[in-house]
Amino acid sequence: MIYRLYFLFLYIYFSCASPVKQEENNTNNSTGFLPDLNLVNGIEIVTWNIENFPKLGSRTIDSVYNVITSLNADVYCLQEISNRNSFQELTDRLIDYDYVISDDTDYLNLALLYKKNDFIIRSKSSLFTENMYEFAYRPPLRVEMTYVGENSLDFTLINMHMKCCDNGYARRVSSAQILYDYLKSSIESGILNHVVVGDWNDDISDNYNQNSFNIFLEDQDNFKYVTYEMAHSSSNVYDSFPGYGSGSFIDHIMISSDLFEEYEGGDVQTIRLGDYLAGYDEIISDHRPVVWRFIP
């Protein structure tokens, strides 16, 4: 069963990983699917918490399939896969994609979908399995990839889902320190081009004494959030988690310094699916996907 998705009108411009504002569609006579986000000779990386997938069984699987194929992005980093059999059903239908899924997550698995003709997976591992508590029993999924397009690129993609709620702040601060030390050590040992994505479960625009990720924000020589401008916007149009009221931006994409040039020439956007797909929250997720697009 196909659910109608209205066109998202995107105004794309390239400068300092420019955030792209999507205009809400207030008409009832527009038809069609989401626009094709795929860049010629470029890479599109999406982070998307798909909330206890599949929330409504086959209805959710159909809807997620339609979104993924319509957006046509290269890489989808997914959080909260609660049923691996259902995820396998989805991936069996996505003939242009292959996948990697975590083997070490206690619940709510982490997964990665990628276009199998455009990327090579060089290695896969779970990070910090000795620090399960700090990472909410969901150790980050680390994948070394090679983009085999015109301008080939080796990069390391880390997909994670940090702790929320209760004592989440202290555990996020601790996990951020562990992640920071690991990334610094990796960079010093010559492993370059890190992209860290996922549900960070905190807004990087929080005040210093409430911010879980000061350690990264204070080291701008080595790390940048490509989502920084959207998270600090006074408008809630970019919020990745609409929430129940004010909303927030908690789904981030962070890069290491060797990708800063790509950052300068790329664009980043929140895909406001709830504005265009009736019942999005009930059928798919309470989070919106966030995408970074760039040309190597």
CATH of the domain at 241: 3.60.10.10
Cα–Cα separations (whole angstroms), residue 237 to 39, 216, 233, 248: 24, 25, 9, 10
What is the reported pTM? 0.90
Per-residue model confidence as pLDDT tens digits over 115-168: 999 999 999 999 999 999 999 999 999 999 999 999 999 999 999 999 998 889
Give domain status of residue 80, yes or no. Answer: yes
Contact predicate 101/76, CB 8 Å: no
Give domain status of residue 37, yes or no. Answer: no
Give domain status of residue 222, yes or no. Answer: yes
Give domain status of residue 171, yes or no. Answer: yes
pLDDT band at 18 (very low <50, low <70, confident <90, very high): low
Give domain status of residue 16, yes or no. Answer: no
Whole domain around residue 272: which residue ranges? Answer: 42-294
Give domain status of residue 166, yes or no. Answer: yes
Give domain status of residue 269, yes or no. Answer: yes
Per-residue model confidence as pLDDT tens digits over 73-106: 999 999 999 999 999 999 999 999 999 999 898 8
The tokens describing 174, both together, are 């601790």
d(CA 274, CA 146): 33
Q: How many domains does the chain have?
A: 1
